[in-house]
Amino acid sequence: MAKYTQLGPHEIRSLAQRYKLEITDYSVIEGGAANSSFFLNANGNEYVLTIADDKSVENVFILVELLDYLTEYGFPTSRVVVSGGGEKITLFRGKAVIVKEYIPGVTKRNISKDGLFSLGLTLARLHQIPAPDFIPQTHSYGVELFPNAVGLNFDAAFEDSLTQMGDHFKGEIPRGLPRGLIHADVFWDNVICLNGGFRALIDFEDACNYFKVYDLASALFGSCVEGGKLNLDKASQIIKGYEQVRVLEEDERRALQISTVYAGVAISFWRYMKYNLINPSEENKNLHKQTAEIADRIHAIPADKFSQVFI
C-alpha cells in the first residue's frame, strides 16, 4: 500500500477516541491503493480505521450511505461505526476518516472453487438489490474517461491502443444490457475468505449503476487469472454460482468475453493514470502494461473456447 497518510501512535489513538474506542494494539494494513488503513484492537473488538487519500469527502459520504444501504439488505460487506458525536465520517487533515467493523478472514489470490461459486452467488444477489439513486450512473474509470489519457505521452503506444479499444468496446458492447447496482472492482483483494470459503465483498468505492455483466467480467479478470491467463474452469464456477440466483440474458452471455477484456483495459487505464499522472511512481509506472497484456490474451481466446465458462 502507498501509505499516503502517516500517523503516529498519538494520532491514531486520538482518531479512535472520536469513536469511543480505546486502543490496545494497532497495525498498518498493507494492500490498498487509494486509502491509508489501520487495524485496531479496541474495546475487546476489532476495527479498521481508514483515511481516504484519493476520494473527496463527498465521495466518501456516498460510500458510507451505500454501505448502510447494503447492510439494510443483509449484504455481506463492511459495517460503518458511528462516532461519539453520532457522525459516520470525521475529518483529519482535510481527509475523510471512517471506522468499520473488522471482518474476520483473509484475501487470497488463489480463491477456491467453492469460494468462487459463492462469489458468483453473492454478485447475483447484489444485482437484485435496487440501485439507489445516489450512486454514480457511470463507471469511475470506464470507457468514457479513456480520452483523458490521450496526449499525456508517458506511453504513446498504450494511449493509441486505449483509443482503439475504447472505440471497439463502444461498438461491440450493447448499450441496452441490463443495468443495476454493481461493485465494479471485483478483484481478489476485495474478496474476504474464511476457512477456504467466501466471507464478504469489500471496498465499494467504485460502485455505480452500470452493466451487470461488467461485474461478472471484473470478477473473471480480477479473481480467475493465473500465470497471466484466464482460467476458464475457475471462471465457470463464478458463472455457475451467479446463475443459481439470476440467469444471464443471451445478450449478456455474448457480451461477457468482450466485457472481460473491457474490465482489463479499464484497470490498465486506471493504473496508467494513477502511477504516471496522479501519484507518479517509478516502481509502478509500467504496471498498466501487465494488465493490458492479459486483456489482449483474453481477447484472443476463440469464442467457442471462451464459451466453456457457461458449461
In the chain, count of helices (H) and strands (E)? Answer: 9, 11
Band of pLDDT at residue 2, cut at 50, 70 and 90:
very low
- What pLDDT does residue 33 have? 60
Q: Tell me how crowded residue 268 is: count the other CB atoms within 10 A of its CB.
A: 25
Query: Are 50 and 100 within 8 A, CB to CB?
Result: yes
Tens digit of pLDDT for each residue in 127-143? Answer: 999 999 999 999 999 99
Q: What percent of the chain shows pLDDT beyond 90?
A: 90
Per the DSSP assignment, residues forming a β-bridge with 285 are none
The better pLDDT of the pair 114, 5 is held by 114
Fold of the domain built from segment(s) 113-310:
Aminoglycoside 3'-phosphotransferase; Chain: A, domain 2 (3.90.1200)
Q: Name residue, grid cell 454493481.
A: 182
Tens digits of residue pLDDT in 203-231: 999 999 999 999 999 999 999 999 999 99
Q: Please give the pLDDT value at position 4.
A: 65
Nine cell digits for residue 56: 473527496
What CATH number has the domain spanning 9-101?
3.30.200.20
**pLDDT tens, residue by residue, 233-243:** 999 999 999 99
pLDDT at 164 over 80: yes
Mean pLDDT of the chain: 94
Q: What is the pLDDT of residue 5?
A: 76
Pick the closest to residue 265 from 164, 188, 191, 180 (CA basis): 164
How far, in Å, CA of 111 to CA of 235, rounded? 11
Can you tell me the mean pLDDT for 146-152?
97
**Cα first-last separation, the chain:** 38
Residue 3 pLDDT class (50, 70, 90 cuts): very low
Instruction: Please give the share of the chain, as a percent, with pLDDT higher than 70.
Output: 97
Element (H, E) at 233: helix 232-243
Parse the chain into domains and list their residue ranges: 9-101, 113-310
Looking at residue 32, its pLDDT comes to 58
The model scores a pTM over 0.75 = yes
Distance (Å) of CA 202 to CA 64, 123, 159, 190, 234? 12, 12, 31, 5, 21
C-alpha cell, 280: 507518479
In 21-114, at which residue ranges do the beta strands (DSSP E only) sit? 23-29, 35-42, 45-52, 90-92, 95-101
Q: Are 15 and 36 in contact (CB under 8 A)?
A: no
Q: What number of other Cβ atoms are within 10 A of residue 147's Cβ?
A: 12
Average pLDDT value for residue range 270-283: 95
Distance CA 144, CA 131 (A): 21
Give tens-digit pLDDT for 14-68: 999 999 999 999 999 876 566 889 999 999 999 999 998 888 999 999 999 999 9
